[in-house]
Amino acid sequence: MIEFDDTADLGVLHTRRGRLDLALAHHAGSAAIAGGLGDHRLRAIALGGVGEVLHLQGRPAEAVERLTEALSLLDGDAESIAPLNTLALAYRDLGHLDDALRTARAAVGRAAGAATLTTLATILLRLGDPGTALAHATDAQRLATAAHERIEASLTLTAIHTSLAQYDRAHPHARQALTLSEPGYRLLHGNAMTALATLHHCAGRPAEAHLHATRALQIHQETGHLPGEAQTHLILAHTAPGEFRAFHLRAAFTLFAQLGANFRA
């Protein structure tokens, strides 16, 4: 039991610090330990961690498999909220938006907290309903207590305001996410840099977009966050000096092709 707790805790720590390969190894190890103990609840918790990391790595089809297995073992108890929430995100990234919305609403129905409301907001934004998304993201920011919840809510508010061309409203949220994520949340820090790059690019400020995208790219490459890496290459394909734009466009195309294969895995 102590071995499980130690391994699971390391999985969570490495996830937050953006060491995704190590996080995946520790969560998979936790699942194996729990399986050896015959403890279905602990195995489900570990599989939820595996699913979260697979989603962050841009492998949503595999994430859905692990998360679905985790939920089948938890049978609707309180510990099912986190894997249910991640399952909604994985469905979103697969483009299964009806499934994503249904799953996100189920998660909110069990616990209308910062994490579940943020996820619901991102799906509503993808569905073209920024107004309702904004209401949920604002509630999420109000309810958020943990640093990672505040960061995720701020990033979602940034995305919503950017989509509405409300760049002056988006910028403070992006800066808050950047500041909160700096002390230890490496992957989220890369996402905050990417959000700022996207904001500046959409606002017609290519120099600022290039600066933040360059910094974001380095972080995404360190963490193995392929969706973020692909997105920043795409921004750099529009904002880098002319002789480098083709390189970034090819890199973005290659990564999006790889992600597409992951989605169909």
CA torsion angle 234 15 185 175 (round to 10): 40
Q: How do residues 156-204 score in pLDDT, each as one tens digit?
A: 999 999 999 999 999 999 999 999 999 889 999 999 999 999 999 999 9
Angstrom CA distances, 93 to 31, 70, 179, stand at 25, 19, 27
Q: What pLDDT is recorded for position 10?
A: 82
pLDDT at position 3 is 64
> Hey, where are the domains in the chain?
1-107, 205-265
pLDDT at residue 5, as a whole number? 60
Q: Is the pLDDT score of 265 beyond 60?
A: no
- Arithmetic mean of pLDDT, 46-50: 95
Residue 206 has pLDDT above 80, yes or no: yes
pLDDT digits (tens, 9 = 90+) for 52-105: 999 999 999 999 999 999 999 987 677 899 999 999 999 999 999 999 999 999
Confidence of residue 6 (pLDDT cuts 50, 70, 90): low
How high is the pLDDT of residue 263? 64
In this prediction, residues 8-12 reach a mean pLDDT of 77
Q: Is 1.25.40.10 the CATH number for 1-107?
A: yes
User: Which residues are CB-contacts of 60 (< 8 A; sequence separation ≥ 6)?
Assistant: 54, 89, 90, 91, 93, 94, 262, 263
The pLDDT of residue 15 is 87
For 230-250, letters b (16+ CB in 10 Å) and e give: bbbbbbbbebbeeeeeeebbe
Contact 210, 201 (CB under 8 A): no
Angle between helix axes 206-223 and 226-239 (nearest 10 degrees) is 150
Mean pLDDT score across all residues of the chain: 93
